[in-house]
Structure 1
């Protein structure tokens, strides 16, 4: 039963309520067995039964729960660097999409790759994510937009989850945009999703969630409701991309569907905030996407003050958030969304886990939770997110096993 000693500051994130409450313990110790946390607390209060266990040394550093990236588009083909220059020169997201760029260009590149190639690319990304302290990743399909490729992407995620070490939570996003071959028959594409894609996904157990991009350039609220209700019937809980580019009652829709999360929310309304809070829907904010699209960020302060649990995720994708650097997104959430470092940490651990239906299993360091944690070379959370570095994570542990870095042993 290993124990981690000499922890300068331990953030347990054990309290299920309170965005600011990250359960800080100074001069702490952590004990786990069989990949599960057994005890966490002040080192001076360490029970006698654990004092002779093998010791790992945190070196007086900050220790946090393994980060949970609750919104990524992990497997895809190609990149879209040209759009970066286009946006700098004044072309907006919808204009680029209308010209054949955007999501549809990634669909073309993704359809051309076989399963093993997609797997290798995604595994390389995950290796970089683990080095940053990320231990659980939500991964969406959505760059296939046909039955064959959507299933291929989700099978990649299943293989990644089975091979580890990162914990993968898969989401079916067949309703990302309407592909060109269905442009003249939107209703036909919705039927393809509800009658073929979602049943096949459910039959193979390939995803936990069903997601829809609700936007003028993607799917309407009525289409989203039809797709999500069919997904729910099949055991796929709804998640929604809403209120990103325009305000259109997306948050209210997510609340009415009992979605586990509503993601983006740059244009969320006051009534949408109230609806999310009443329904207990997690608001997932994506600071990198707001940055790359040069948008005003979502009103995180209003969401928090309105009683919404706010998560922070990378939105890693090849177009509007081409980085999996979740700690950088966390610093952006502080600087642009006016969230405190503690609020952001809660939003990338316990509340991010809640957005994946995994609360208490991951995202906290309390008895019974997975022994997933990161050792950060900083005295506290404030200093970590204030002092932006390429990487402050010196070690990442998943299920009690070191997966990045080395911790000295006594």
Structure 2
């Protein structure tokens, strides 16, 4: 037996999500594999057995026992879409939206992403780290053990590299699994929008300076583009993502959030890991995602916070055979939440997912959206020991008690995530 093995016992339910190590489609999403009267043995930071509790107690006598107290044990959640590196909050925009000012008009006035860009550029790495660390710990306190973190509020070479260096520091310091995404193509900076040749000049900066620097310093695993009319076109997105792939980055895409602009079709064409948002995805886009197995990462918290009355067509996506994931889109402007169980609630109440589908969307399919489904998202032998313990008696309570802090503890790679303070620092 390995050094310091752990044996998790006395769980009312163990939600294993065990099954094929890839994005789940269609009826596969309904199999959360809930088990009772079993224990979970962790050795060398991975799950080594999920078996009858009495048998494991007898065979693993040297293991440290973790008493789950009759709670529910699930895989740690995979939050595959966040923008957690930022400075101040943007609460004034919520009031503007309440008076009828639309998202793109706020951006045109210099708000939205542009506001976060101006703010982040004034802050150093140490300050950004100090702001981001408790936010990620708050995610861990909500059961998240793997999190993707994007850049995109710098949109200069130095500020994007600065952001990604902060993500790297966080990944080295925290027990969570933290994966970095380069999102230099989040917005055309205002200083480029004001130039006649600005779009092409910024694309050249992305392709010839920023991307090579990110790849040279190994600062990101993924590249992403905000492909939306008024931001980056399909053709521009194809150029950027093709270049990123040539530099060894896996690719993702913000697609069809506000209007159907061909983003999902592009994601399918390029074989992207995921296409995210998709509130306005077309039938052709759904078909392209299904053909290529691209994960549809849905962000219902964003649509809720924006006051939208429509959500992404989750049922159509599932029925078409597209793997569906759920994520927070944690960011200062349109989804300022770290509450992953609330996203499950919205998945059930707004997207019409079953509880099992929502659980798979937040675990296995979130891992697939990051290319990690072969090692993350299941409580099964050989998978990373990423676990969350909940103060409930039935997993169906997880989305039921909406907004409640029911996570008692979480572990990433068998290491405890000491993260139970939900206070978030938002500098003024």
Name the structure 1 match of 2:362.
348
Contact 2:339 2:403 in 1 (8 A): no
Any residues of structure 2 matched to 1:14-33 within 5 Å, and which?
A: 14-16=18-20, 17=24, 18-33=28-43
Q: Aligned partners of 2:336, 2:78: CA distance in 1, in Å?
A: 18
Contact 2:137 2:417 in 1 (8 A): no
Picking from 219, 244, 264, the partner of 2:257 is 244
Q: Aligned partners of 2:54, 2:264: CA distance in 1, in Å?
A: 46
Name the structure 2 match of 1:336.
350
Are 2:77 and 1:67 aligned?
Answer: yes
Are 2:204 and 1:194 aligned?
Answer: no
Are 2:296 and 1:292 aligned?
Answer: no
RMSD: 1.4
Q: Aligned partners of 1:405, 1:144: CA distance in 2, in Å?
A: 28
Picking from 154, 168, 178, the partner of 2:164 is 154
Aligned to 2:165, what secondary structure does the other structure show?
helix
Name the structure 2 match of 1:318.
332
Name the structure 2 match of 1:258.
271
Name the structure 2 match of 1:309.
323
Cα deviation 1:67-87 (Å, max 9, x = unaligned): 110000010121110000011
Aligned to 1:217, what secondary structure does the other structure show?
coil
Contact 2:148 2:179 in 1 (8 A): yes
Name the structure 1 match of 2:8.
4
Q: Aligned partners of 1:182, 1:405: CA distance in 2, in Å?
A: 41
Q: Aligned partners of 1:186, 1:307: CA distance in 2, in Å?
A: 37
Name the structure 2 match of 1:219.
232
How far the C-alpha of 1:250 sits from its partner, in A, is 1.2
Contact 1:282 1:310 in 2 (8 A): yes
How far the C-alpha of 1:293 sits from its partner, in A, is 1.5
How far the C-alpha of 1:52 sits from its partner, in A, is 5.1
Name the structure 1 match of 2:177.
167
Q: Aligned partners of 2:326, 2:406: CA distance in 1, in Å?
A: 18
List runs of 5+ in structure 2 lacking aligned partners: 421-428
- What is the number of equivalent residue pairs in this alignment? 406
Name the structure 2 match of 1:103.
113
Are 2:399 and 1:385 aligned?
Answer: yes
Aligned to 2:280, what secondary structure does the other structure show?
coil
How far the C-alpha of 1:47 sits from its partner, in A, is 7.8
Contact 2:250 2:273 in 1 (8 A): yes
Q: Aligned partners of 2:84, 2:417: CA distance in 1, in Å?
A: 20
Cα deviation 1:24-57 (Å, max 9, x = unaligned): 1112200011211100133255385325533211
Cα deviation 1:330-387 (Å, max 9, x = unaligned): 1111110001111111111111011011113221111111111010111222122112
Name the structure 1 match of 2:379.
365
Q: Aligned partners of 1:73, 1:163: CA distance in 2, in Å?
A: 18
Aligned to 2:341, what secondary structure does the other structure show?
helix
Cα deviation 1:119-144 (Å, max 9, x = unaligned): 11110101111111111110000000
Aligned to 1:404, what secondary structure does the other structure show?
coil
Contact 2:138 2:419 in 1 (8 A): no
Name the structure 2 match of 1:282.
295
Q: Aligned partners of 1:241, 1:405: CA distance in 2, in Å?
A: 29
Contact 2:11 2:72 in 1 (8 A): yes
- Work out which structure has the larger RCO, using CA pairs closer than 8 Å and 6 or more positions apart in sequence: 2
Q: Aligned partners of 2:47, 2:374: CA distance in 1, in Å?
A: 11
List runs of 5+ in structure 1 lacking aligned partners: none
How far the C-alpha of 1:206 sits from its partner, in A, is 0.4
Q: Aligned partners of 1:277, 1:158: CA distance in 2, in Å?
A: 33
Q: Aligned partners of 2:246, 2:419: CA distance in 1, in Å?
A: 44
How far the C-alpha of 1:12 sits from its partner, in A, is 1.0
Aligned to 1:32, what secondary structure does the other structure show?
strand
How far the C-alpha of 1:297 sits from its partner, in A, is 0.5
